[in-house]
Amino acid sequence: MKKLLIIALMLTGTLTFSQNKNAKASMEVDGVCGMCKARIEKACLNTKGVKFATWSVETHELKLIYDDRKTDLATIEKQVLTAGHDTKNAKATDEAYATVHACCKYRDEDVKDDHKPKEDDGHGH
What would the pLDDT profile of 45-75 be if each residue is shown by its tens digit? 999 999 999 999 999 999 999 999 999 999 9
- Cα 67 from chain centroid? 14
Task: Return the closest-CA partner of residue 106 out of 50, 52, 28, 46.
Answer: 28
List, for the chain, all residue ranges whose pLDDT scores fall below the cut of 70. 1-20, 118-125
Domains annotated on the chain, with CATH:
21-110 (3.30.70.100)
**Residue 20 confidence (pLDDT):** 62
Residue 5's pLDDT is 46
Q: Phi and psi dihedrals of 24, rounded to 5?
A: -115, 140
Note the pLDDT of residue 114: 86
